[in-house]
């Protein structure tokens, strides 16, 4: 863990890589299309062979990515969704992430559909192979006059890789405990998780950009998942259970069940 932290510090100081740098193990690009009420698209982190990057809650051995808005014009809302990750890394240093180039779906709502829009983002994320590097990249997304069939296909594929809502009679049963200041232990039970043959990698998520979830565990025999939620703004008193979700892979397809049974 200490070695990993040192690697990130060295990378931050000596290898902050912007979108036009020639010394990169990854490239950023985006695809976008008009969907009537909104524009939807995908940000692709194109990784070289053998390189990995991280999910939004990678765990203690990973680097939490962040996407921040630097500037915007004629934009009223912007949001991203993350594909379901894999468990990567050596034994004892596992993290949640991607070993192939991930595409991160996004949606943009504009104020006036008749006018031009643009939004400039800063992406802060890590990539790893033998060493780990921290990236700070600026990405400008703007209205396209044309969208190719290939772009639309890539956007559709990106959306298929995020957990879709599962309509099920099996509801989440949630238990919340205050572990320490700013730390909440989450336990989510669902009988669907007992399907050991078909269910893989059940994960707890909380829809809040400033929160951090770690120490994810999954017990298929008992049918529950656990995690620790760290936040400076969320507590037992104000946690929104409608933002809590359980995602998992079933027969190779990512699904999620949102909310908790009252």
DSSP per-residue string spanning 160-208: HTSPEE---S---EEEEEEEETTEEEEEEE-GGGG-TTTEEEEEEEES-
Classified as helix, coil or strand, 226 is: strand
Query: Kind and range of the H or E element at 252?
Result: none
- C-alpha 234/C-alpha 179 separation (Å) is 13
- What is the token pair recorded at 223? 């049918």
Confidence at residue 202, expressed as pLDDT on a 0 to 100 scale: 94
| Residue 112, φ and ψ in degrees, nearest 5 | -140, 115
User: pLDDT by residue (tens digit) across 140-181?
Assistant: 999 876 778 789 999 999 999 999 998 766 889 999 998 777
Q: Convert the pLDDT of each residue in 58-87 to its tens digit.
A: 999 999 999 999 999 999 999 999 999 999
**Cα separation values, 95 from 4, 22, 49, 137, 244, Å:** 12, 28, 19, 22, 21
Helix (H) or strand (E) holding 219: strand 212-219
pLDDT at position 196 is 64
Nearest-5° Cα angle at 173, 168 to 174: 135
Give 208's pLDDT tier (boundaries 50, 70, 90): confident
- pLDDT score, position 12: 39
**Would you say domain 164-258 falls under CATH 3.30.70?**
no
Element containing residue 45 per DSSP (H, E): strand 39-47
pLDDT in tens, 106-133: 999 999 999 999 999 999 999 999 889 9
Delimiting residues of CATH 2.60.40.1250 domain(s) in the chain: 2-160
Strand 52-54 versus strand 103-110 pairing type: unpaired
pLDDT at 169: 66
| Residue 247 bridge partners (DSSP) | 203, 256
Task: Return mean pLDDT, the chain.
Answer: 87
DSSP 66-101: EEEEEEEESEEEEEE-----EEESSTTS-EEEESS-
> CATH for 2-160, among 3.10.20.90, 1.10.3720.10, 3.30.420.40, 2.60.40.1250?
2.60.40.1250
**Which among 4, 9, 8 has a CA at the least distance from the CA of 93?**
4
153, with CB counted inside 10 A (0-12, 13-18, 19+), is: exposed
């Amino acid at each position: 863990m200490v070695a990993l932290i040192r690697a990130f510090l060295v990378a931050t100081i000596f290898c902050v890589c912007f979108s036009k740098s020639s010394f990169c193990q990854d490239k950023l690009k985006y695809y976008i299309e008009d969907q009537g009420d909104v524009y939807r698209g995908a940000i692709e982190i194109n990784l070289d062979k053998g390189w990995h990057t991280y999910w939004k809650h990678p765990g203690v051995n990973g680097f939490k990515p962040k996407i921040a808005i630097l500037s915007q014009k004629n934009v009223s809302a912007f949001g991203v969704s993350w594909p379901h990750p894999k468990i990567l890394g050596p034994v004892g240093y596992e993290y949640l992430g991607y070993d192939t180039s991930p595409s991160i779906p996004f949606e943009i709502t504009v104020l006036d559909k008749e006018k031009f829009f643009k939004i400039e983002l800063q992406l802060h994320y890590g990539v790893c192979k033998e060493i780990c590097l921290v990236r700070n990249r600026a990405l400008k997304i703007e209205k396209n006059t044309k969208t190719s069939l290939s772009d639309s296909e890539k956007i559709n594929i990106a959306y298929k890789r995020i957990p879709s809502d599962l309509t099920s009679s099996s509801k989440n049963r949630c238990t919340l405990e205050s572990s320490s200041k700013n730390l909440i232990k989450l336990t989510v039970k669902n009988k669907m998780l007992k399907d050991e043959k078909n269910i893989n990698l059940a994960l707890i998520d909380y829809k809040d950009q400033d929160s951090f979830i770690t120490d994810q565990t999954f017990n298929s025999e008992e049918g529950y998942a656990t995690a620790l939620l760290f936040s400076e703004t969320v507590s037992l008193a104000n946690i929104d259970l409608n933002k809590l979700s359980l995602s998992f892979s079933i027969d190779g397809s990512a699904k999620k069940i949102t909310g908790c049974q009252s």
